[in-house]
Structures are given as C-alpha cells and as structure tokens.
A = this chain, B = another copy of it.
Amino acid sequence: MDDRKLKILTAVVDEYIVTGEPVGSKAIMAHVKASSATIRNEMAELEKQGYLEQPHTSAGRVPTYKGYRLYVDRLMEQNQLTDSEKDMLDAMIPQEYVTEQDLVEKASMALADLTKCAAVVANATPKFSIISKVEVIPTGKRMYVILMITSNGAIRNKVCRLEFDLSQDQLEFFDNFVKQNLNGMSIDSLSDAYVEKLTEAMGTYMMSLSPLVSEIMKMTKEMSSVTIQRQSNLLTCKDFNQNEIISFLDNQKVLKGFIDETFSGLHVMFSPETDGFVIHNSSIITAPFSKDGKTAGALGLIGPMRLDYAKFIPYLEYFTGKISEMISEEPQDGEKESKDEN
C-alpha cells in the first residue's frame, strides 16, 4: 500500500465527509499531485482492495466501511481546537446542575445540537461504584419501595409487591442486614453466588425477605443507564434508512450490548462492528469520563459514517475532559483542590 494510495484514500474520505457526494478523480487532483487518469487508476485499485466503492458505473467513489476504518485508525489528522472553539464549547457546558447525571446529560445534549448527531450517555455505575444506601419503605398493603443510592449519586427506586406484609421485626432485621452486607459493596461484586450465600445467611428470615434481596439484585442490574439525547437528529440525517431509525426509536435497549467497551478509552465503531445495533451506515464515537481518576461513564455521538471525525473527536474529548474535572472533588468556596482521593 504505497503512500500515494493512502493520500488518495484520505482525500476521498475528507471530501466525501464534506460534500456527501461520490468523489470523482478531478476533485482529488486538488489534494494529490497527479493527473486525473493516474488517480482513476489508483482508485480502481483501492476499489479492488475494498476501500472504496462506486454507487454505479459512472459515479465517483465512496469510502467503504473498511476505508473509514483505515482512515480513522491511521490516516486522519485530528484538528487542534482553537481558542475560539474552546470558548464556544465552554459556553455550551452548563455551570448549574444538581446531579452528575444531570450535568452530563445537558452537556451531551448541547454536543448533539452542535454536531447534529444523537448523543448517548452511559453510566458506569454498576462497574465502578459502591452502594451507599439501601432502604426499604412500606407504602401500602404488601407494597414496599426499595430505595438505592450509590456512591456516585445515582438514585433508583423500585416498587415491589410481596406475598405477605412484613413485621416491624422483619423490617428492622433487613435494615441491619443491608447495612452490614450490602452497604459499601461494589455493585459489580454482587455476583449471584454471593447473593445466594447472603440469602442463606438470613436464616429464619430467608423465606419472607429473599424476594426483597432478589429485587435489589434486579435493581443493581438495571443501574447501568444508557440515555439518548436528540434522537431526532437521526431522523433528519438523510444517510439513514428512515424505517431503521424509527424501529430504533421504539426499542433502544440494543445499545446496552456494547456499552462496557466504551469505558476503556476513545472508540470509533462502525455499524458493521456493532452487532445488535443495526442502523446501517452509522458510526458511534465514544469517550469515557472519570471522577477522581476512576471511570464514571462515557459520552458518545451516534451519526452517519460520514462524520467529521477530525473535528468531532476533539470536541468529544474536550467535553469528557471538562466533565471529568467538574465532577471530580474540586475546590468549592475556596477549598484546596484534592484529586485522587477516594
């Protein structure tokens, strides 16, 4: 794979990202010093190798998935953010917020608006945070609310209906039981086996209380929230098949499948790589953010493959950087900054 071919491929992708039209040999001449005939020959080879394709015989070339992959991994040059861009991005990050989730969602919404993509926020709660409180609150005949709060501030409640009413005694036992055995546990470490051991340790209380334990287990599994903002941007993007988008809107659970990967660093994934998630011609960029040095979640953009990676990746990383700063324990009201504490 010689240098000129790579240059041509880069030029095709760059151009296609801007115009959205198949790129012809003449357009490439502006980027590569060679005649259109030479470029055509090279493009024909690139097509044979699977990096480009033609919508029809007499059209220009369009990058294939393989072409994008190479482009993103090795060819693309990321833009450096200018000061004015940074100012613009800064202005988009909300200064007022209550929960971290709140901050991240608002920021992602702004990013979605800017990039005309849909934005995803994945919460790393189950992987990286610990249970700080579990409460069971009676709320009607046989109805109980379980309230769970985790170290990163996520709060969930769940109603559950039991077969019997619990006695005061049982409730108190459970309260203590939870304090001793669940509080302080990392959610990720609550394996089925561990929970079974716990349940057995409850002795005579097991019968009546084990449904609560299993509800709590369910809650921990549902803790990993994945929210999507500005899905409508997918609808207005003409690179997509409308019907696919519509059925995606109806069941977006599919996204949860490959979320775990996103916490490890910057990722660019293309639709052929994300099985289960089936919007053809789409790509997802994700970047993790952290709190006090520990992964706290990931922010992502869903858009067409024809995405301005060189521009948007720096945007995304700038955002996750800022978010990490903001949610980490920072000096407030004049306190000293103290990072990397637990």
Contact = CB atoms under 8 A, between A and B. Distances in A.
B153 A139 contact: yes
Contact of A231 (B132, B242, B249): B249
A242 B235 CA distance: 9
Given A133-B137, A230-B250, A147 B147 contact: yes
A247 B143 CA distance: 39
Nearest to A139: B149
Interface string A135-173: 101011001010101000101010111000000000000
Copies of this polypeptide in the complex: 2
Interface in A204-245: 230-232, 235-236, 242
A139 B143 contact: no
A78 interface: no
A136 to B, nearest CB: 12
A208 to B, nearest CB: 17
A143 B153 contact: yes
A88 interface: no
Contacts of A91: none
Contacts of A161: 98
Contacts of A98: 159-161
Interface string A101-114: 00000000000000
